[in-house]
Amino acid sequence: MRYLILSDIHGNLTALDAALKAAEGRWQKAVCLGDLVDYGPDPNEVIGRVQSLKAFTIRGNHDKAVVGLADPDEFNPIARISVLWTREQLTPPNRAYLEKLPSGPKQIGGFSIVHGSLFDEDEYIFTPELALDGLLEALTPVTFFGHTHIQGGFTLRDGQVEVLHLPPAGGNPFSTLTIEPGAPFLLNPGSIGQPRDGEPRAAFAIADLENRSVEFWRVPYNIGAVQERMARAALPEPLILRLAFGR
């Protein structure tokens, strides 16, 4: 089974649709690691699109915050403005949908999915030190996580945590990681709607674990069109600008 792995879409329908177009015909089931909404201008449209994919979806910290399951005061002032704007936009059915999203970890297709980490849906796994416990206590050989908006991940080799960073090269839209048997892998598909790894293109992954392969994809999209909608919605300027830098 080939799984489309989406994360951190953040209300960016243009990026999501560009990713879906690139991935068309290449996957059979979709999963989403949370943060469908917030920051971006299209929260209702993104929820509708994810529902149409019948994606197996867990919640992220922003999904919680916009429906009041987390305190927006824990966010920085710019993020708080966006949480409150998104909260106002949500239709009642979409609000109810977000409220009912389960938290990770969940298992599907022989792998695990979490938003932050195995132990805390709000924890960021930025470094090898932070990845170690999740690798040692993994529930399945492969765990997909999101939250950091940084594509790549970690594995254990000879007792050491190894950082995996596989940017597609040579004009290819994706690079392929081979999953070696016996080693645990913590993998981040990257963010669809607000990448923060210095590369502004939308990021996602396609996993085919029976064939021991995970593809890390990058797809360009019309960033200017999204920035225009954000400006019309009077969303904070730093959030608008960062899309172009992928930071």
Question: What is the contact surface with Zn ion in residues (CB under 5 A)?
Answer: 8, 35
Residue 49: CB minimum distance to Zn ion, A: 17
Residue 146: CB minimum distance to Zn ion, A: 6
Q: Which residues contact 87 (CB under 8 A, 6 or more apart)?
A: 66, 67, 68
Residue 219: CB minimum distance to Zn ion, A: 18
> Do residues 226 and 207 lie in contact, with contact meaning Cβ atoms separated by under 8 Å?
no
The bridge status of strand 152-157 relative to strand 3-6 is: unpaired
Q: Which is nearer to Zn ion, 150 or 156 (CB)?
A: 150
Residue 150 burial (CB < 10 Å; 0-12/13-18/19+)? buried
Q: Which is nearer to Zn ion, 75 or 154 (CB)?
A: 75
Residue 9: CB minimum distance to Zn ion, A: 9
**CB-based closest residue to Zn ion:** 35
Residue 196: CB minimum distance to Zn ion, A: 9
Q: Which is nearer to Zn ion, 116 or 141 (CB)?
A: 116
Q: Which is nearer to Zn ion, 2 or 35 (CB)?
A: 35
Q: Which is nearer to Zn ion, 8 or 121 (CB)?
A: 8
Q: Which residues of 174-201 are buried (b: 16+ CB within 10 A; e: fewer)?
A: bbebebeeeebbbbbbbbbbbbbbebbb
